[in-house]
Every structure is written in structure tokens, then in C-alpha cells.
Amino acid sequence: MKLAFSTLGCPDWSLQQVAEHAGEYGYDGVELRIKGDRHVDPSLNASERRHAAESFRSRGVEIRSLSGYTTFTGKTREEVEANVQQLRVNAELAHDLGAPYVRTFLGKVPEGMTFDFAVAQVAESLARCAELVRPLGVSILIETHDDFSASAAVERVLREAGHPDGLALLWDTVHTYHSGETAQQVVERFGTNILHTHFKDCVPDAHNPRGHQYRYVLTGEGYIPIRENIAALRSIGYDGYLSFEWEKMWYPDLPGPEVALPHYLRYMRELLG
């Protein structure tokens, strides 16, 4: 298995600094966040895209995935369609940067919409996205997140979508844990359709400003069963990335990336042997 990190953990670094530190620390890959003016954005022109790709390639670091923020639980057709088209644009950027995957969320079910209706709408949207993106050779990763944090909920969506080629799971190990699922349940449900993972750790905190009942801590210092998660992945022959999603962007008081990123490497390398 290989190790990567998401640029969610280093919001103040330039794209060049991300590449330099990834190479310096010894990471195998990175996930680049698509949002606003940080790191990468579809507004990059062809020359800028080539330069960004070369910055990582020259240091032996793979751009493994682009982290998009599309969702498909919108209340209007126009909102849903805008997200379908945005995912296509995000996938084009991933293709140009040499990344095999682009991440999407499914979303939160709005007030007044039943979960059954949301599943049907999301499934239809994803089937269209898969068709639009397939010619690019980029796979869409569905993250266990929001009201679809349980892998069982994602499985239901994919079943209704007809399991089209090009859709796979990004297993966020914290979100499924808090949904009450074990690692073994996740890997038995998705098997080799798990193409990417997010790892992080946390401790209880009833006063989290974002409404969670936990707060993030350095890897290995909390209650998330990281060893069990890795063992479950090994049981299905997973050989992809264990990507560190340090949420420094949302929690500015967390230790900086110069602390958290090297710590994650040391801890995970020891677990991996």
C-alpha cells in the first residue's frame, strides 16, 4: 500500500510547496483539492496544467485524485444539472493532470425530500456522470460522506444506478465508523471496488464547532481502529493508497502540516511494516 495526503491539510501552501514537501517527506502521492483559489482549479489553462503535472512527476509524486465538491441532492433540476456538468469539468482537469480519479460527494438530503427520492435522484445523476466522464479514462470516486456516510447507503445508490463502469468507492474510514459500520462490513460490501481511502483519527468532543461529537488528533492518538482498517483492506488484496485527510482547512487550530504530515508517514509506515 502507498501513502498520500490531501491538500485539505495544508491550505496555506502553494501548489509548488505541496509538490516540494511531498517529495521531501517521501510521500508516494497527493490528492489535490478543487475549490476556490487554492491548489488547482478548472480555470487553469493548458500550460498551467502541464506545469502543475510536471511539478509532481519530477519529484516522483503521483497526483492520485482530485477532490471535487459536487453533490446531487439539490432541490431543483438546474442545481443538479450544474453539479453533473461540474463533475465533468473536474474530470477533464484530472485527466490533464494525469490523475486517475476525481472525488465527488453525494450530498445531504434537504428538508422536505425523502431519502428514497434522494437515492433515485442521485443514482440517475451518477449514471449520467459516468457516461460523460468515461471517455476521459477517469474514474469517479464516491466518498462515504454527509447523508451517505455509510457504505450501505452508497451501495444502495450504485445498485439503483445499475453499477455503471467508472464509479467506485472512496472509503473515508472515520465516516463509516461513526455510521456504525465495521471495517469488515465495508470491505465485504465493496471489495475491490474500493479504489481509494481516507485515514485520520479523533477523540470525543461534545463541543466541536462544526457539530460533530469528536475532534481530530494526530494519527494513532485517538479511537479510530486504524490497524483493523488496514487488516480489512489487506484481506481483499487492496494495494492502493492510504491517504491522510488532515482537516486543517476547517480546523485552523490543528497542528500544522509540517507536524501532521511527517507524523502520519512515520506512524503508518510502522503499521505497514
Write out the H or E segment, with its range, that includes residue 89: helix 77-97
Segments making up each domain of the chain, as ranges: 2-209+218-272
Q: What is the 3-state secondary structure (H, E, C) of 120-169?
A: HHHHHHHHHHHHHHHHHCCEEEEECECCECCHHHHHHHHHHHCCCCCEEE
Where residue 103 falls among pLDDT bands split at 50, 70, 90? Answer: very high
Write out the H or E segment, with its range, that includes residue 155: helix 151-161
Topology annotation, domain 2-209+218-272: TIM Barrel (3.20.20)
Question: Tell me: the pLDDT tens digits for 23-43?
Answer: 999 999 999 999 766 789 999
Q: What is the mean pLDDT of the chain?
A: 96
Residue 36, pLDDT score = 61
Lowest mean pLDDT among 61-75, 152-166, 198-212, 254-268: 198-212
Residue 210 has pLDDT above 90, yes or no: no
Residue 37, pLDDT score = 61
Where residue 207 falls among pLDDT bands split at 50, 70, 90? Answer: confident
Lowest mean pLDDT among 33-37, 52-56, 111-115, 204-208: 33-37
Where residue 72 falls among pLDDT bands split at 50, 70, 90? Answer: very high
Of 22, 15, 30, 13, the C-alpha closest to 196 is 30
Of 129, 11, 35, the C-alpha closest to 80 is 129
Residue 25, pLDDT score = 98
Whether residue 9 contacts residue 261, with contact meaning beta carbons closer than 8 Å, is answered with yes
Q: What is the 3-state secondary structure (H, E, C) of 9-53?
A: HCCCCCHHHHHHHHHHHCCCEEEEEECCCCCECCCCCHHHHHHHH
pTM: 0.95
Residue 157, pLDDT score = 97
Residue 35, pLDDT score = 77
Residue 123 has pLDDT above 90, yes or no: yes
Residue 120 has pLDDT above 90, yes or no: yes
For cell 510547496, name the residue: 17
User: What percent of the chain is predicted at pLDDT more than 70?
Assistant: 99
Whether residue 109 contacts residue 115, with contact meaning beta carbons closer than 8 Å, is answered with yes
**Residue 194 vs residue 209, higher pLDDT:** 194
